[in-house]
Structure 1
Amino acid sequence: MAAMYSDRALVIGAGFAGLLAARVLSESYGDVVLVERDRITPDTGYRAGTPQASHPHALLARGADALETLFPRLGAELEDAGAIRADLGSDFLIRAPSGWAPRDYLGLSVLSTTRVMLERTIRRRVLSLTNVSLVDGVTIDGLLHDRGTVTGVHGRHDDRPFTDYADLVVDTSGRDGKLVSWLAELGVHCPAPMIVNGHLSLTSRLYEVNRDLKLDWKTAFEVTRAPDVRRGGSVSTVDGNQWFVTLFGADGDAAPTDDDGFLDYATTLRCHDIAEIIKTATPVSKIYQAGNLRSRWNRFHQVPDWPRGLLALGDSVVSLNPVHGHGLTLAALYCLDLRTLLQEHDLAKEPLVFQRAVARTARTPWRSATTADLGWSTRKPSLSTRLLRWYTDRAFAALPGNRQVYRAFIRVSHLVDHPATLFRPAVLFRVLRGKALSGRHPRATEP
């Protein structure tokens, strides 16, 4: 159990990362306040601050385990509310560029739900904590500071000046946050961020499940892959009775946002179930699109004069291309790091200890996401990136017909195993030998 400092912590942003941070801080601080720009209640659904909620969100297997650690029985609560549990082997239909992936039972599952349901369920739990409070409708304009220490925030609340003080300020304001400029106002200058633009797009729509369609999967996924496979898509069953359909575009391609164009784009995919759903199911939302998706890393761990009293986590530090589905999982892992380090350090006085932990946790997902996206870039990658991409291309080619390669690939993709496991002799041999199969998609096997 973390030591109780009986001090005050302030979290900028009451989104997914902010809620998790508040949950952890509540164990170590007597008073935790969430400061949020949007107007929200425990039951708020879609809101302006999370436009990405109109697209599917992947919670990787390791992320689900992390959330269960922070919120015991969260998975069961989500299932009771309609989330769908799916085995990553038998319940997934995956089309790789070289063919269909095996569908053997893996014993590794994920929960399929919307961002709205997930965040709302967690928000209710966090706001029920007796030492956590919420101030909404606040626009933060900057940080308060005193001799190298952040002491609070200032901004506007209902068009009135707003000031709040805390012993620790945690920024979780997201990929559009202004922490870099706030720090510059204090005379603290950050290195230029690392940016990799994947030139990818997401175009999404929700549909009511059509019970007349007899499908033997819970999630279908067709993968884009540089340099030739520019189109892909996915369908996931969410919240009990809805399908979340998303069409991917790479290298500047994007699905149209009108009904006919959306369907026509889907018919170009090899996973014909996606087009069949669009054709026969009833839409329950408009079509949403997000484009020019990129990854960005603000290297706060390299700022030698990083102020005391300030931490940053979530997308305000590392925002990965959402196509790859790392965001929610990374936020959960950062908060497990936060919980561990609060037991060993006074992070208000040693904030770089935490920022360096964030960098370590983000390193592998960053490498994975950007290696894939650099395939669409005109920028020449490093030798190590070219070698890694060459090997992952071979692994993709070997997925059809290679159950052991697929199992290893999925466990690494979901951050359960280290990428080094892909180089174990049994996997390495099959990857280098490679054998791509095609034809009709495989049927699921039982455990």
Structure 2
Amino acid sequence: MTAMYSDRALVIGAGFAGLLAARALSESYGDVVLVERDRLTPDTGHRPGVPQAHHPHVLLARGAEVLDELFPRFRADLEDAGAVRADVGSDHLVRFPSGWAPRDHLGLSVLSATRVTIEQVVRKRVLKLPNVSLVDGVTVQGLLTDRGLVTGVHGTRDGRPFTDYADLVVDASGQAGKLVSWLAEHGVHCPAPLIVTGHAACASRLYHVTSDLGLDWRTAREFTRAPSPRRGAAVSEVDGYRWFVTLVGTDGDTTPADEDGFAEHAAALECHDIAEIVKTAVPASPVHRSGALRSRWNRFHQVPRWPRGLLAVGDSVISLNPVHGHGMTLAALHAADLRHLLQSHDLAKEPLVFQRAVARSARLPWSAVTTADRAWSNRKTTTRTRARRWYAQRLADAVPGNARVYRAYVRVAQLADHPSALLAPRVLWHVLSGSRPRATAR
């Protein structure tokens, strides 16, 4: 049975991570308040606080499982809102540098939807909880403290001073959050964040695609890998008959936002269906481009004087290069950690217990993403990183034509299995002894 510790918890930010944190807190606190800068309604679409919503967002298989645990029938609600279910084997068309992945049915399905749709479904479920409320239009400017204890937040709302108090404050303000600066104002100094440059840019556009194109897949991926290929893509059916096309450029290969450049990049890919979509489908949005993609980790778990009454979740702690698609699932794992630890800990008094759990959940995704991104850099890396990169490349080269290796790869990529599954004897044998298949056209 979950303990009820006190009356009031306050969450800074009502985005995806903040909403999930509020859901977890609702079982242990009598009153949970979400404080959000943007004005929100149940059907709010794109908003200033989430500019990345113009790009695809991936909820990996493990992340979807967590959301079903937090919100029974969540995946059914998401499908009712237009999300598209696809088997990651038979419904996915995946191109590795060495060839095409097998198209066998794997029995592991994922849902494709826009960030706007996912957040709307979560927001409606959270705000139906009787002890959760939303105060929007608030710009939080700092923390209120009393002898090492965070007691609330201060800021402005509609041009007037805003102050609110709570027994526990959770920062879910995202990449643009200022928690490190707020802590410094109170004499709490954090280690410099770990930052790994992704050496990548992406450009995305929504299209209306009809059945006339005769596509036999629902998601397509074309991977980049240092030193080549430098161009990739991710395409998926979302929210009914709309398709998200995202083009990726690495190592200085730009992803243009103009019509001709977007079409030229798509035409250079091995998956000719992508170029056909760009050429013939009706655009449903402008092209949105993002560059200077990177991963950042604020190591809050290493702050010895971390104040009581304060937790941090989501991108406020760790934000991963979005090209790799781990962000939403990592936020879901944070919520699962929060819910679990509240059953046995008063986290307002023991906040580092939670921050250390967040760090443990982040280590494997961080390692996977940054190992791939560091391959584009000329900087010297550790022996461990070089070994991981070497094995990852051999694994990718063994995927085409090998359903066993691909199944293991997919389950780890979806965070359904631990990476140690990629070292299982049968997988290891194929990876180390298999010859590289010849890249063939589809």
Task: Name the TM-score class by shorter chain.
Answer: over 0.9
Q: How many residues align?
A: 441
Report the 3-state secondary structure (helix = DSSP H, G, I; strand = E; otherwise coil) of the residue aligned with 1:212.
Answer: helix
Aligned residue number for residue 22 of structure 1:
22
Q: How does 1:304-383 map to 2 (within 5 A)?
A: 304-383=304-383
How far off its partner does 1:440 sit?
A: 3.7
Aligned residue number for residue 66 of structure 2:
66
Aligned residue number for residue 432 of structure 1:
432
How far off its partner does 1:364 sit?
A: 0.2
Query: Normalized against structure 2, the TM-score is what?
Result: 0.99
How far off its partner does 1:253 sit?
A: 1.5
User: Is structure 2 residue 292 aligned with structure 1 residue 292?
Assistant: yes
How far off its partner does 1:439 sit?
A: 2.0
Q: How does 1:41-190 map to 2 (within 5 A)?
A: 41-190=41-190
How far off its partner does 1:128 sit?
A: 1.0
Aligned residue number for residue 233 of structure 1:
233
Report the 3-state secondary structure (helix = DSSP H, G, I; strand = E; otherwise coil) of the residue aligned with 1:436.
Answer: coil
How far off its partner does 1:437 sit?
A: 3.6
What runs of 5+ residues in structure 2 fail to find an aligned partner? none
Q: Deviations over 1:316-341 (max 9, x none)?
A: 00100001110000111111110010
How far off its partner does 1:277 sit?
A: 0.3
Q: Deviations over 1:135-180 (max 9, x none)?
A: 1111111000000000000011111111100000000000111000
4+ residue runs over 4 A deviation: none
Q: Deviations over 1:292-350 (max 9, x none)?
A: 10000000000000000000010000100001110000111111110010000000000
Q: Which amino acid in 2 is paired with 1:108?
A: L
Aligned residue number for residue 215 of structure 1:
215
Q: Which amino acid in 2 is paired with 1:384?
A: R
Contact 1:234 1:274 in 2 (8 A): no
How far off its partner does 1:7 sit?
A: 1.4
Q: Which amino acid in 1 is paired with 2:23?
A: R
Q: Deviations over 1:257-297 (max 9, x none)?
A: 11111001111100111000000000010000011100000
How far off its partner does 1:244 sit?
A: 0.3
Q: In structure 1, what is the Cα distance between the partners aligned to 2:178 and 2:379?
A: 28
Q: In structure 2, what is the Cα distance between the partners aligned to 1:436 and 1:2?
A: 53
How far off its partner does 1:210 sit?
A: 2.2
Q: Which amino acid in 1 is paired with 2:156?
A: R
How far off its partner does 1:5 sit?
A: 2.5
Deviates more, 1:251-260 or 1:390-399: 251-260
Contact 1:198 1:377 in 2 (8 A): no
Q: Deviations over 1:395-417 (max 9, x none)?
A: 11111011111111111111111
What runs of 5+ residues in structure 1 fail to find an aligned partner? 442-447
Q: In structure 1, what is the Cα distance between the partners aligned to 2:285 and 2:215?
A: 22
Q: In structure 1, what is the Cα distance between the partners aligned to 2:326 and 2:266?
A: 25
Aligned residue number for residue 400 of structure 1:
400
How far off its partner does 1:20 sit?
A: 0.3
Q: In structure 2, what is the Cα distance between the partners aligned to 1:395 and 1:322?
A: 22
Report the 3-state secondary structure (helix = DSSP H, G, I; strand = E; otherwise coil) of the residue aligned with 1:86.
Answer: strand
Q: In structure 2, what is the Cα distance between the partners aligned to 1:418 and 1:260?
A: 42
Identity %: 70
Q: In structure 2, what is the Cα distance between the partners aligned to 1:289 and 1:76?
A: 32
Q: In structure 2, what is the Cα distance between the partners aligned to 1:27 and 1:116?
A: 26
Q: In structure 2, what is the Cα distance between the partners aligned to 1:147 and 1:57?
A: 41
Contact 1:251 1:376 in 2 (8 A): yes
Contact 2:151 2:167 in 1 (8 A): yes
Contact 1:13 1:35 in 2 (8 A): yes
Q: Deviations over 1:82-122 (max 9, x none)?
A: 11000000000000000000010000110000000000011
Q: In structure 1, what is the Cα distance between the partners aligned to 2:252 and 2:295?
A: 16
Q: Which amino acid in 2 is paired with 1:105?
A: H
Aligned residue number for residue 32 of structure 2:
32
Q: Which amino acid in 1 is paired with 2:10?
A: L
Q: In structure 1, what is the Cα distance between the partners aligned to 2:115 and 2:80?
A: 16
Q: In structure 1, what is the Cα distance between the partners aligned to 2:29 and 2:254?
A: 47
Contact 1:100 1:437 in 2 (8 A): no
Q: How does 1:192-207 map to 2 (within 5 A)?
A: 192-207=192-207
How far off its partner does 1:35 sit?
A: 0.4
Contact 2:200 2:292 in 1 (8 A): yes
How far off its partner does 1:235 sit?
A: 1.1
Q: In structure 2, what is the Cα distance between the partners aligned to 1:234 and 1:335?
A: 27
Query: Normalized against structure 1, the TM-score is what?
Result: 0.98
Q: In structure 2, what is the Cα distance between the partners aligned to 1:129 and 1:252?
A: 47
Report the 3-state secondary structure (helix = DSSP H, G, I; strand = E; otherwise coil) of the residue aligned with 2:199.
Answer: strand
Aligned residue number for residue 303 of structure 2:
303
